[in-house]
Amino acid sequence: MGSRASTLLRDEEIEEIKKETGFSHSQITRLYSRFTSLDKGENGTLSREDFQRIPELAINPLGDRIINAFFPEGEDQVNFRGFMRTLAHFRPIEDNEKSKDQNGPEPLNSRSNKLHFAFRLYDLDKDDKISRDELLQVLRMMVGVNISDEQLGSIADRTIQEADQDGDSAISFAEFVKLRC
């Protein structure tokens, strides 16, 4: 006991994070020690390099984009609260049943927040639309080398054709949601 991790995280903070993210007390303290072990600068925040040491992200084709999702616009450090808020999107939806709060805000791991999170992984220029190029970039990262550019291009075209309802040749969030149904 008396480790750095347990001394720095106050009970009130754990309570607030619990309410905000739906993680349990023990999950929060466990993730806090993971956070501090990744925090090589020992300044209470993580940089992109800190994240790149996580093996699961290093091998994920979308790793860099997932890492970016942790960082608020224009910032290159994320604190524990921000870290937990992003992680909350990955909690399974069923977990909400245990901690349902009818009057509370929509949980971060709701279906719609999860879809928003996925949508933002595609929408690099943040114009709230997925263009053909943005879709192609993700397809290329995910399928690797076995598919030619032409084949990828026609997959992208077909996906956009299927999803695009307002005829702007791009996928809006509303169109994206229907595509996933």
- Scanning the structure block, which residue is given the tokens 């303290």? 29
Our finding on whether 127 is near Ca ion (CB under 5 A) is yes
Judged by CB, which is closer to Ca ion: 16, or 125? 125
Q: Which of 76, 101, 125, 162 binds Ca ion (CB under 5 A)?
A: 125
Q: Which of 88, 123, 135, 176 binds Ca ion (CB under 5 A)?
A: 123
Our finding on whether 106 is near Ca ion (CB under 5 A) is no
CA distance 112 to 105: 13
Q: Which of 13, 20, 95, 164 binds Ca ion (CB under 5 A)?
A: 164
Judged by CB, which is closer to Ca ion: 152, or 179? 179
3-class DSSP state of 113: helix
Site size toward Ca ion, by CB under 5 A: 7
Our finding on whether 133 is near Ca ion (CB under 5 A) is no
CA distance 112 to 117: 9
DSSP state string for 7-49? HHS-HHHHHHHHHHH---HHHHHHHHHHHHHH-TT-SSEE-HH
Binding residues (CB under 5 A) for Ca ion: these are 123, 125, 127, 129, 164, 166, 168
